[in-house]
Amino acid sequence: MLKFYNRVDEKNCECRISMCSIGSGIQMELDSERPDGVPEQATILLTPMDAAYVSGYIGRGDDCSAGHSRTGETLDIYYRSFTKEADHKKGLSDIEFVGDMWSGWIVAGPVKMAVPDFVLLAIKNAIDAMMPSLMYASTGDMEEEFG
């Protein structure tokens, strides 16, 4: 689980991201709280193809959108724009990462998080580590899948 803080309206709000490999892909649970203390949650399923897509785009530093939830939300990753106006159009200009400089945002339904590079790289590394179990979900035997 990744845990960090964002600052919204001069108040620190805890953010949490957890990922686990399940039979049909990767389940991501994202939790944050609003400045008034009300929690916001989203659970996103990344199919193996979604997971590979997200990993590739994080590796290149490009925006991406993948996965799905029961209510139709996706996992959206945005890198910071060069202008505040562009970030404001996305509705993300009021969120800041507490600590060092941040590089972008993760949005999943009601959950919005400002994240630094190391959080995005941790997500990429976790996805990459789970890829063998996603590709060979039943036994791990390549011959079963391709033989």
Segment 45-65, tens digit of pLDDT = 999 999 999 999 998 878 899
**Is residue 9 scored above 70 in pLDDT?**
yes
Q: How far apart are CA 86 and CA 66, in angstroms?
A: 21
Segment 57-110, tens digit of pLDDT = 998 878 899 999 988 899 999 887 665 665 666 666 677 888 767 788 899 989
Nearest to 50 by CA among 75, 31, 71: 75
**Percent of the chain topping pLDDT 90:** 40
* Residues 112, 66, 2, 122, Cα dihedral to 10°: -130
Please report the pLDDT score of residue 36 as a whole number. Answer: 83
Name which residue leads in pLDDT, 101 or 120: 120
Name which residue leads in pLDDT, 98 or 18: 18
- pTM for the model: 0.82
Spell out the domain ranges in the chain.
2-136
What amino acid is encoded at 77 in this protein? I
* Backbone angles phi and psi of 128, in degrees to 5: -60, -40
Q: How far apart are CA 45 and CA 20, in angstroms?
A: 10
Mean pLDDT computed over every residue of the chain: 84
Q: How far apart are CA 93 and CA 87, in angstroms?
A: 5
pLDDT confidence tier of residue 126, bands split at 50, 70 and 90: very high
**Is residue 133 scored above 70 in pLDDT?**
yes
Query: Class for domain 2-136, per CATH?
Result: mainly beta
Please report the pLDDT score of residue 7 as a whole number. Answer: 87
